[in-house]
Amino acid sequence: NIDSLLNDIKNDYPNVINAFRLSNKNQIPTTIVRLDISCVKTIEDLLSKKFIYINNVRLPVTEYLAPAKVLICSKCFQIGHFRSTCKSVLEYCKVCGKAVDDVKHHIDVCDSKRCRVRCSGDHDSNDHRCPDIKSYRAMLTKSLLTSTGPPNHHQNNSTNYWFNDQDFPLLSSNRGHYDRSSDAP
């Protein structure tokens, strides 16, 4: 039960706000749970530990990266910009893909033969399941991942410390000499 899991996690990590069980593409729930956390320090703490223990069960912790959002213009149905910045003179019908002067008038006379503006597929022009949009999203996600570097900052294998001898106080000069008189039975 996701609610009992959330309560158990909140006992150790009070900054966890919510928990969601992710579903696969067929909308079948998976074993993956996404946590919404309000504190960056808690996120870093969980990621560095790599595991949490709930009711004596060890659960892996990894960073969740949400799919990249794809901008689709509602005027020309091209990818990568909004209607407010669109340079297209004509509007396009999202159903048949034709360029028209007045979309509101065209809707009444549209032949309704579905044809995507970019790929000529049998779906609406703003359908997120379009192969063009899927490939653009994949490319965008890949470029975001490569530009930001590895998501987990704790994967650096080199030792990251600086030795400062002032961090370690000097021991007394009688180091190595043991005073037996302090041993009382």
pLDDT at 65: 77
DSSP state at residue 79 = B
**What residue ranges do the domains of the chain occupy?**
2-63, 65-148
Pairing outcome for strands 29-37 and 91-92:
unpaired
Q: What pLDDT tens digit does each residue of the chain (185 aa) get?
A: 889 999 999 999 999 999 999 888 888 998 899 999 998 899 999 999 999 998 889 999 988 877 778 888 888 888 888 889 999 888 888 888 888 888 888 888 887 777 666 677 777 777 777 888 888 888 887 887 776 555 444 444 444 555 555 555 555 555 555 555 545 45
Place of tokens 């309704």: 112
Short-list 148, 109, 150, 114, CA closest to 129: 114
> Which DSSP helix (H) or strand (E) runs through 80?
none
pLDDT at 171: 55
**Residue 48: count of CB within 10 angstroms of its CB:** 11
Please tell me the pTM assigned to this model.
0.48
Fold entry, domain 2-63 = Alpha-Beta Plaits (3.30.70)
